[in-house]
Chains A and B, each alone.
Chain A
Amino acid sequence: MAKLPTSDQLLAATPTSFPDKGWMEIKPEFTPGTYPYPAKEATMKALGFPNAHTWAPQDEDWNLPENWEEIIYNGLKERLEKHRSLKVFMDTCVRCGACADKCHFFLGTNDPKNMPVLRAELLRSIYRKDFTLAGKILGKIAGARSLDKAIIKELFSYAYQCTECRRCSLFCPYGIDTAEITAIVRELLYELGLGINWVIEPVSNCNRTGNHLGIQPHAFKEIVEFLCEDIEEITGIHIDPPFNEKGHEILVIAPSGDIFADPGIYTFMGYLMLFHEIGLDYTLSTYASEGGNFGSFVSFDMAKKLNAKMYHEAERLGSKWILGGECGHMWRVINQYMATYNGPTPACMEVPKSPITGTVFENASATKMVHIVEFTADLIKHNKLNLRPERNDHLITTWHDSCNPARAMGCFEEPRSIINAVCNNFVEMPEHTIREETFCCGSGSGLNSEEIMDLRMRGGLPRANAARWVADHNNVNRIACMCALDRAILPPLMDYWVPGVDVSGLHELVGNALIMKGEIPRTMDLRQEDLEYPDPEVEEDEIEENGVENASEEQDNGGEE
């Protein structure tokens, strides 16, 4: 693994101008720190990939299958016939350049091929050669080029320098979505047996064990119970979450990163505390123990395959609807693909209705899956939660809109309403870096592996830079987000560019602020760090009064239609 250069070295190594040669003349280079490790042949084979083989990006020969040109030609042809998006996006680009400086990888690397327009041209040039009259006749003059092995390498290099964040698609006057192009290029590469380990291992794990991390059922239960012990230590309240139990109203599916890794675990603790406090009739599942979907970084079919477990498990358990955790790409799949892939929903499922507030989530009436941020925002709006935001007073928080909930869902006000209810100090990052214009963490879509730290720090620069602004000007020390990948990716990014800014999931902050019935006065936050403003010592009966009775009196104020 390459040693990560310091931020000064990294900046010094960033080219300030473009190469003299045209982009078609420049061959891809594979220097350590810039390419992800290849997927293992055995894992690829077990998942049924054709042409799985052993290869390495830095090798001269990638051991491509004999008929690799035919595979790409047929693969591209098939996809042009299956996706109108691809055909239209191949044909309509005018190279106006509006997308160029919208890409975080371009801003961080100044590599021209990281301009979304050129990333797409890599594929477009092949498309022109094989599928357009002008390209066939005029060749290079028409921007066409014949396929060769260096182009395959180039496609690999740049399909894995795109996090499918869709920021460019927002600014494109024709709505050209590079995520669509990257996803299809990755599919084509998988047909050649070229995959990356950081994606394929989780996919393989998820297929068999139910989650990306390969946590087996007993271990899953143990980890959650361990988190419950922590909750008990902090709040004095014992929680016993149900697993794989039939007959509960709601199936809860969170990204598995949240039960496994710091700081995601605090978010998961927040979920458990919330569910306990409102008396939610729910179950967790060890089989559908993954909200995320690394399959969506492989192919549409793989995404469908992994996603299918959710409805399958809801049907087996007889759940009425599914409540989904805080995750980014998970919600790209659920919000835009799930109903199409694996709908219609099993007969036992109903349009989601909050059992606490009675709110019917009409916006999820087909998919029957609600985002926990929508769910909690509704609870807070209806005054169903007793909150003490002072417990988060040691934090000055900013909000990172994760790409997929932002540009594939439009979930902006829900998290802000929650954060304003649970934190007294909230500061927005500068305009053009938030909401629909938000910047990627720099390592989404399966690029959060250690071996490409150099690239990740570059890709995350625009996000970190905006965080730095509020850290410098507003003393922000916490960046909150609703994405499990963010929670894994932002901590090293912040350490690198903006030391002193920590990362939280939204429900960690909710868990901190949530006053639970019968809890002990809190002296620690969910990280078991001493609270700067601990709860005053109060009598037991006073807490009771602050409990749900108070809340139910205010029940009618919310104004439900």
Chain B
Amino acid sequence: MTIALAAILIILAIGLGGALIGMQYVLGVILPLVALLVFIIGFIWRIIDWAKSPVPFAIPTTGGQEKSLNWIKPARLDSPTTTMGLLGRMGLEVFAFRSLFRNTHAVRTEVDGTPRITYYSSKWLWLFALLFHYCMLVIIVRHARFIFDPVPLLINVIEFGDGLLQVGTPRFFLSDAIIVGALLFLLLRRICTERLRYISLPADYFALFLLLSVVLSGMCMRYIEKVDIAMVKVVVMGLVTFDIPTMEQLVQIGPIFYVHVTFVSVLLIYFPCSKLMHMGGIFFSPTRNMKVNTRQVRHINPWNPPKKFHTYAAYEDDFRVIMEEAGLPVDKASEATPDTDKDTA
């Protein structure tokens, strides 16, 4: 955890220090463009890399009743046999975290000297994970206002909804509060639960710290250390249209903006080479994205090796005499010469 924290502080120092010593051009132009490029290329590269490996076997995890006899109701979403069902399963998995929704918590107690394990439904991880991801989505959509002129209606509608509390100027966004809460929950459970603490890698803390830093620096810029937001839009519009902003424009924006941009850039660069790729991975998971029709449709393995097995002929050669004695039918009567070559095993 200390390693992850140290890394975050270094990034902070680079962002803040860079802005103070006049490196706005590097932090505000070069870094984000490079980061975006790394993100796009890296993401695509990772997807291609996964896709290059074939799926030799159909191994869906059946989360409910199979489709067998017509009077038994199949679980259309948890064990889908149709394309619609499969889309439903994947949709639930991606948009509602269906598998995580199943989560239980096992509690071991003792009753009269014998162990008892009780399984309680446990939806906290599901809830906060879902909250985090949807807030993230809302925030990204809100940020799209910086690259559109005029701002599309959808973004304004989302922003209006997000600011529904109507407190503060600028209006306080619900998503900001929730995402901080959700990230803190994810962080605290990692620190406080023995199991989570034991399995956590520096990378796990780093990802959470990085996301928190992105969010907090952004919030700081909006609510506390306000920057020239009109100029931010000019700069960002410039970046996406490759109308590179001038140093004059860049210095009009306060250093906190460069801190935020630095954190976001690091996140973009880090994304493709980290566990954050679970965003793409879920679509490639063969236990989820395959139909439960494995006896109905033959799945083809592109590298299926040739059949090599102990043939019946070889078996009969081995046991012909005792088979005949036992009255078992044989293909070749025992006077025939055994043909051991048929054993391809």
Contacts and interface: CB of A to CB of B under 8 A. Distances in A.
Nearest to B310: A207
Interface stretch (A67-75, A356-364, A531-539): A356-364
A287 B295 contact: no
Contact of B194 (A18, A86, A218, A435): A18
Contacts of B316: 287
B328 A180 contact: no
B315 A210 contact: yes
Contacts of A414: 68-69, 72
Interface in A244-260: 244-246
B242 interface: no
A217 B285 contact: no
Determine chain B's interface SS by DSSP, over half rule. loop
Interface stretch (B135-143, B162-170, B270-278): B270-278
A409 B73 CA distance: 14
B294 A335 contact: yes
Give the most central of B78, B102, B322: most A CB within 10 Å. B102
B199 A97 contact: yes
A105 to B, nearest CB: 13
A458 B251 CA distance: 66
A278 interface: no
Contact of B199 (A112, A176, A359, A412): A112
A513 interface: no
A287 B315 contact: yes
B114 interface: yes
Interface in A170-226: 170-177, 180, 207-210, 216-218, 221-222
Given A95-B204, A177-B287, A410 B292 contact: yes
Contacts of A169: 61, 287
B103 interface: yes
A425 interface: no
A305 B309 contact: yes
A143 B200 CA distance: 9
A100 to B, nearest CB: 5
A344 B298 contact: yes
B193 A97 contact: yes
A222 B326 contact: yes
B274 A134 contact: yes
Contacts of B102: 170-171, 437
B198 A141 contact: no
A528 interface: no
B104 to A, nearest CB: 5
A487 to B, nearest CB: 22
Contacts of B57: 300, 336-337, 340
A304 B158 CA distance: 55
B195 A97 contact: yes
Interface string A1-40: 0000001100100000110001100000000000000000
B325 interface: yes
A523 B63 CA distance: 42
Contacts of B286: 84-85, 88, 175
B131 interface: no
B335 interface: no
Interface string B204-221: 100000000000000000
A499 to B, nearest CB: 11
Given A91-B277, A92-B278, A339-B295, A461 B310 contact: no
A93 interface: yes
B273 to A, nearest CB: 6
B129 interface: yes
A366 B297 contact: yes
A412 B69 CA distance: 12
B95 interface: no
A82 B303 contact: yes
A281 interface: no
A431 B102 CA distance: 12
A359 B69 CA distance: 8
Interface of B: 3, 46, 49-75, 78-79, 93, 97, 99-100, 102-106, 108, 113-117, 119, 125, 129, 193-196, 198-204, 273-275, 277-278, 281-282, 284-288, 292-301, 303-305, 307-312, 315-316, 318-319, 322-323, 325-329, 331, 345
Question: When A and B form their complex, which 3 residue pairs have the shortest distance between CB atoms, in order from nearest?
Answer: A92-B281, A410-B66, A218-B326
15 contacts: A18-B195, A84-B55, A87-B50, A95-B199, A96-B125, A112-B195, A170-B99, A173-B97, A218-B325, A306-B309, A362-B296, A364-B296, A409-B66, A413-B73, A414-B72
